[in-house]
Structure 1
Amino acid sequence: MESGGVTLSCRHGGVGDGLVVLLHGLAGSAGELAPTAQALVADHRVIAFDQRGHGDSTRRPSDVSREAYVADVLAVLDALGGADVAHVTLVGQSMGAHTALLTAAWHPDRVKRLVLLEGGVGGGADRDYPQRLGTWFASWPVPFPDAETAVTFLGGTAIAAAWARDLEKRPDGLWPRFDADIMAKAIGAVAARARWLEWARITARTTLVRGSRGTVPDNEVDRMLAMRPDVDHVVIPDAGHDAHLDEPAAWLATLTELLR
């Protein structure tokens, strides 16, 4: 489907009341959320899409602003949401959680429920982070000859395995389905400023889900909970920033219970 001059690759299916939209994190794709979708489709309609700059969606969009990512969510809802567009749950991880947060803040009439996995308000003191992250992505010795080599280079973690599964097979080897400079620009928009005003105005029922070894700072989470005492807070043991990959069974049990 099309949104703001870009093509978005979408997956959707399922039955039941309400609609769940899954939003992956930076450098990911809808593929890494396939197990989450599969766990939900028996009871919910589910949409997962490759966000702009990722996966099979437009690889080099001219606009990677936060507004553009939110507009894509709305375009997907309008195109695929059907009768359920008034009963939407947004589930996002990391940068996808930030997109979900802003969508709920700017369009409260479109979002009923919000589940943020390892997601915060953005901003932060480390202004060099986006450039350093982009430099790291650019340092990958691509093409990788095989998935095992990719996993080893990327650190042997759960996210490394997910990235390896998502690589594009070309005649000369395996390539990432994103460009490093686009990733740096996209996360730079998240890091540009903290969205405390947006966080405060959200009316959708909200749950923060964190890994016990996650990367969202404790003081940020404490402030988020103090500003909105109605927000639920769940910690997944033995999980890091990619809790849905580190502890998939615990993540799925948590999410299905939240949506019950």
Structure 2
Amino acid sequence: MTSLILIEAGPAGPSTDLPAQIATWLDSWPIPFTSLEEAEAFLGHETWTRTLVRRGDGWHPTWDRTTIVDSVSELATTAYWEQRSRITCPTLLVQGEHGTMRPGEPSMMLTHRPRTQPVRVPDAAHDVHLDQPTRLHEAIAAFLRD
């Protein structure tokens, strides 16, 4: 591996309430949505609406709630600091200005791996690729040039 790019991702580890947080968020969706416009207003980006399907009573997600919640279970119980310490290639760490990484995690990542280049993208949350695709592309292009 010659380089690694992490976007809103780190080795933080145990967060036992993560599955419940995700479940609560999914359960807050007013399903079915009456329109794609309502879905976009609620979800914050039109890309999220592309996964919805129209049924007789409105717009529904195509994913399974249990699968989504179960998919974060390992992240809720496991820290990956040891595995990250074995990464020797240059790393780009992209954070959204309003992202979900724990406050001290990026600085701890820099302490453990000095070859980590941090980039904080303004006006972006966890979905940096949706919120600021041009700024993300610019950050990645600059990192790969260097």
The interval holding the TM-score normalised by the smaller chain is 0.7 to 0.9
Structure 1 counterpart of 2:74: 189
Matches of 2:7 and 2:128 in 1, distance apart?
Answer: 8
Higher relative contact order, chain-length normalized (CA < 8 Å, sep 6+): 2
Structure 2 counterpart of 1:150: 39
1:18-57 equivalences under 5 Å are none
Moved over 3 A (4+): 169-173
Structure 2 counterpart of 1:36: none
Aligned CA distance change for structure 1 residues 153 and 237 (closer, same or farther; 3 Å): closer
Structure 2 counterpart of 1:164: 49
| Residue of 26, 44, 69 corresponding to 1:137 | 26
Q: In structure 2, what residue type is equivalent to 1:131?
A: A
Is contact 2:93–2:118 with CA below 8 Å preserved after alignment? yes
Structure 1 counterpart of 2:105: 220
Is contact 1:122–1:191 with CA below 8 Å preserved after alignment? no
For the residue of structure 2 that corresponds to 1:240, the secondary structure is coil
CA RMSD of aligned residues (A): 2.0
Matches of 1:137 and 1:190 in 2, distance apart?
Answer: 18
Matches of 2:131 and 2:67 in 1, distance apart?
Answer: 26
Q: Which runs of 5+ in 1 are unaligned?
A: 1-110
TM-score (norm 1): 0.51
Number of equivalent positions? 145
Question: How far is 1:152 from its partner?
Answer: 2.8
Matches of 1:230 and 1:134 in 2, distance apart?
Answer: 36
Question: How far is 1:227 from its partner?
Answer: 0.5
Q: In structure 2, what residue type is equivalent to 1:127?
A: T
Question: How far is 1:172 from its partner?
Answer: 4.4
Q: In structure 2, what residue type is equivalent to 1:115?
A: I
Matches of 2:100 and 2:30 in 1, distance apart?
Answer: 26
Q: Which runs of 5+ in 2 are unaligned?
A: none
Matches of 2:25 and 2:126 in 1, distance apart?
Answer: 18
Aligned CA distance change for structure 1 residues 181 and 224 (closer, same or farther; 3 Å): same
Percent of pairs with identical residues = 38
Question: How far is 1:115 from its partner?
Answer: 0.5
For the residue of structure 2 that corresponds to 1:234, the secondary structure is strand
Matches of 1:259 and 1:167 in 2, distance apart?
Answer: 35
